[in-house]
Amino acid sequence: MFIVTARLPKKRLMAASAAVLCCVFAVLAFALTAAGRAVAVSAEVKNVKTNDDRLAYLSGLGWQVSPQPIATEELLIPQEFGDSYQSYLELQSSQGFDLTQYRGKRVKRYTYQLTNYPVQDEPVQIALLVYKGRVVGGQIQSSSGSFLHGLTLPAPEQSPPPSASV
């Protein structure tokens, strides 16, 4: 067995330790920021079982919503998707969600009133599709149906994207 010892001045040791810690914090900050952005468009976020989980998920996307859903519905994803469903599938797909793997399954749709949607004259709602505690889809829509788009927060100067029909 060999034992190696080294003498390092305390100032160099402290400087090296501080540099290593800064690098670690920078990597962690980048990873957390990238993960936060990925949530906005990533598919199937797991462990979203309670209202608090759904509120935390929406908050992580930058949304402020009513504390309780304004509607909770059970929906059946159709076995066969007709032409009218195609634009909705494309909307979900653009966010990283694949509803085709839930054909014939029952999902819950939780709809919340958005309170921080940028520049809008009418009430705006956000809906999450949840299957067995997993977010499998979602959209933002005006209460009148004048627009429908994905879950990401539009830039303040940006108007709502063109709607997709359901």
Q: What is the DSSP string of 117-152?
A: -SS-SS-EEEEEEEETTEEEEEEEEETTSS-EE-SS
| Kind and range of the H or E run holding 110 | strand 106-113
Residue 29: HSE in the Cβ half-sphere, 13 Å Cα cutoff: 6
Mean pLDDT of 51-79: 94
pLDDT at 130 over 90: yes
Give residue-wise pLDDT tens across range 86-101: 999 999 999 999 999 9
Which residue from 56, 58, 60, 64 is spatially nearest to 35, judged by alpha carbons? 60
Least confident of 99-103, 133-137, 151-155: 151-155
pLDDT, position 58? 94
Does the pLDDT value for residue 18 go beyond 80? no
The domain ranges of the chain are 9-41, 43-149
The predicted structure's pLDDT at residue 41: 43
